[in-house]
Amino acid sequence: MLKGVAVSPGVVVGRVYKVESILHATEPVTLAAPELVAPELERFDLALTRAGLELESMIQKVESQIGREEADIFRSHLGMVRDPSLRQKVYSLVQSQRVTAMTALQQVMMQYISRFEHFEQQDYFRERMADLRDVFGRIAADLQGLEQQKDPDELPDYGPDPIVIVAHEILPSQSMSLGDQPLGGIVTEIGGGTSHASILSRSRGIPAVTGLPTVSTDVANGDLIIVDGNEGIVLLHPDPETAAAYRKKQREFFDIKHRLVENRDLPAVSSDGTPVELLANINSVSDAETANHTGAAGVGLLRTEYLFLTHPDVPDEEEQYRYYREIVLAMKGKPITIRTLDVGGDKSVPYLGRRVEANPFMGWRSIRLAFEHPRLYETQIRAILRAGVHGRVAMLFPMVTTLEELRFLNRMVDHCKTALTNEGLEFGREVRTGVMIEVPAAAICIDSILRETQFISIGSNDLIQYLTAADRDNSKVSHLCEPLSPAVIRVLMMILDACKRSGMPVTLCGEMAAQPRSFLVLFGLGLRKFSMSPAFVPAIKSLLAHVSTAEAERFAHHVLQLKTSEEIRHYLSDRLHEVSADLEKFDIMA
């Protein structure tokens, strides 16, 4: 039994399928006959050529849309691809050891890593490692395409048991391609509650556990595995009796989940008739379709960074416009809030430059990039405004810290509207702009921010992290990132009270929204708009139907008198059990 971090509730008994990085160390693959060496070298040369052409195109696009300095990183990558010594090293290994070009490329990368490890400057090492992964990954991707192998994300058939993905981590590109696959669960070695694996698993409503450093080496493809996403437990090679007991839990969880979807056409109201808006957090068109299927009233958060993270280079205005338009149309007239680019921290795009930061989550990220790369953000704002012609669109600015930042962003929006008007391009003139409250400084100065924005969205994930000064993806301190802590509850109450006094619309779009115990408190504090992973909308709608406004207010009042997170958790666990014992299965109890 392995104990990790629970990030998506539920139980599954399934079969392991390991998704490995394209440059993950593997056993050497040898060529069956000497006459295969020459064709293998030709394939490697073709992969180098293709990678070089891709980089040339990227250099031109990044330089025109962002700047020459930002394009320089790809010039260095192009130099590495066309370095004769790289070609010579791979050639030598293929010829002398008769291995495939992919195996040779992996071995050459290990040589480079070993060399860089001897540098005393750790920052330099990290920067060069990032460049190496980009360059070697690009060549390897071309090699893999030339091999015409099956899609690495195409899942095998292991019989009646569902597939459980086991990986070191889930990359953005993998999370998008795996989004349409019939997964039963996800287990990763690294990552926390907001990793790509966590977002993918919650959007699909499947159990997931992260933070298990050795799990990839502990299992093989096809092994039986149990994932308990409520308790954060993974069981490897379970005996028949244990497997049978967890299969029973699995059936109970999915029976309830499938039954709850039947409420999608019912209104979201409390037992005494108080209406609530249950919105969806989405990444893609397929997520939008899921949101409609589960009965979401709209989209409270479209994460636009996934378009940038999975794009081969920087998406231009037309590409972004078409992407947003497709999602707006998929929501069939329901409201949709589009968050501007939120990269940095654990999500980086190489064309914005390499910056090694001691505290990346508190560093150069999100809208802070807009001051250095205004053209990048103006392009996105224009695309969002244009998509507003096709539906009820709002634009959300994340990571706002000061009123000066908000004013800068508002001026940028006004400038884009003027430019679109002068160019004769249609845009949504009713597109509202809002601020995501996730920095404590913004929460404390909420009254001044409310005077210069049109709506508020509370990003509880980051707000909790910054309030507690604890990295939510660091297993040593992630226990401090507790949504049911007295400090968090009080700050949320302060924000909600300020919005109520001013009549400002407010939504909470962090993971708290989908956790039944947290929902009871938030509803009791007066919150009436929640945005969550689409899969959890039916469960929260059912919970709402089982509780009255007065009950929830009483729960919240009592919680405000409690002194510790443990007291709050236990109290709300008891209340949730009283209100609806079935819905305990949709909360992370670890």
Per-residue confidence (pLDDT) for residue 129, from 0 to 100: 67
Per-residue confidence (pLDDT) for residue 481, from 0 to 100: 81
CATH 3.90.580.10 for the 2-22+153-257 domain, yes or no: no
The answer to which of 191-200, 286-295, 331-340, 360-369 has the lowest mean pLDDT is 191-200
Q: What is the CATH topology of the domain spanning 268-586? A: TIM Barrel (3.20.20)
How many helices and strands in the chain, by DSSP H and E?
22, 16
Q: For residue range 438-458, what is the model confidence (pLDDT) as tens digits?
A: 999 999 999 999 999 999 999
Residue type at 177 in one-letter notation? S
DSSP 415: H
Q: Where residue 153 falls among pLDDT bands split at 50, 70, 90? A: very low
Place of tokens 């921290």: 345
Query: Does the annotation count 196 as an active-site position?
Result: yes
Q: For residue range 317-367, what is the model confidence (pLDDT) as tens digits?
A: 999 999 999 999 999 999 999 999 988 765 666 666 656 666 767 777 889
Per-residue confidence (pLDDT) for residue 451, from 0 to 100: 95
Asked whether the beta carbons of 495 and 506 are under 8 A apart, the reply is: yes
Between 356 and 415, residue with greater pLDDT = 415
Q: Measuring CA to CA, how many Å separate 185 from each of 226, 420, 513, 540? A: 9, 45, 21, 21
The alpha carbon dihedral of 508, 510, 512, 513 has a sign of positive
Per-residue confidence (pLDDT) for residue 179, from 0 to 100: 60
Between 474 and 236, residue with greater pLDDT = 236
Both tokens of 196, joined, read: 């790509």
Per-residue confidence (pLDDT) for residue 444, from 0 to 100: 95
Among residues 416, 481, 499, 509, which one is catalytic? 509
Place of tokens 């070009």: 101
| Residue-averaged pLDDT of the chain | 86
The CA distance from 570 to 572, in Å, is 6
- Domain extents in the chain: 2-22+153-257, 34-147, 268-586
The answer to which of 262-271, 307-316, 495-504 has the lowest mean pLDDT is 307-316
**Burial label, 117 (beta-carbon count in 10 A; 0-12, 13-18, 19+):** exposed
- Choose the most confident range, by mean pLDDT, from 55-69, 198-212, 250-264, 399-413: 399-413
Asked whether the beta carbons of 269 and 263 are under 8 A apart, the reply is: no
Q: Mean pLDDT over residues 168-176, rounded?
A: 68
Q: Measuring CA to CA, how many Å separate 289 from each of 255, 284, 329, 503? A: 22, 9, 10, 32
Q: For residue range 47-81, what is the model confidence (pLDDT) as tens digits?
A: 889 888 888 888 887 777 777 766 777 788 888 88
Task: Please determine, for residue 22, whether its predicted confidence score (pLDDT) is greater than 60.
Answer: no
Task: Please determine, for residue 119, whether its predicted confidence score (pLDDT) is greater than 70.
Answer: no
Per-residue confidence (pLDDT) for residue 146, from 0 to 100: 47
Task: Please determine, for residue 123, whether its predicted confidence score (pLDDT) is greater than 60.
Answer: no
* Stated pTM of the model: 0.80
Residue type at 161 in one-letter notation? D
Helix (H, G, I), strand (E, B) or coil at 235: strand
Asked whether the beta carbons of 474 and 210 are under 8 A apart, the reply is: no
Residue type at 166 in one-letter notation? V
Per-residue confidence (pLDDT) for residue 453, from 0 to 100: 97
The CA distance from 124 to 210, in Å, is 29
Helices (H), 469-564: 486-502, 516-524, 537-545, 549-559
Both tokens of 138, joined, read: 């690009």
- DSSP string of 281-321? EESSHHHHHHHHHHT-SSEEEEETHHHHHTSSS---HHHHH
Both tokens of 172, joined, read: 């953005």
Query: Does the annotation count 499 as an active-site position?
Result: no
Per-residue confidence (pLDDT) for residue 61, from 0 to 100: 77
Per-residue confidence (pLDDT) for residue 488, from 0 to 100: 96
Per-residue confidence (pLDDT) for residue 202, from 0 to 100: 81
Q: Mean pLDDT over residues 475-498, rounded?
A: 90
Task: Please determine, for residue 27, whether its predicted confidence score (pLDDT) is greater than 70.
Answer: no
CA 131 to chain centre: 23
Among residues 196, 373, 416, 481, which one is catalytic? 196
Place of tokens 């400038």: 415
Q: Where residue 147 falls among pLDDT bands split at 50, 70, 90? A: very low
Per-residue confidence (pLDDT) for residue 148, from 0 to 100: 35
Closest residue by Cα to residue 21 from 171, 145, 220: 171
* Cβ neighbour number for residue 380 with a 10 Å cutoff: 24
Both tokens of 567, joined, read: 């007291």
CATH code at 34-147: 1.10.274.10
CA distance between the termini of the chain: 15
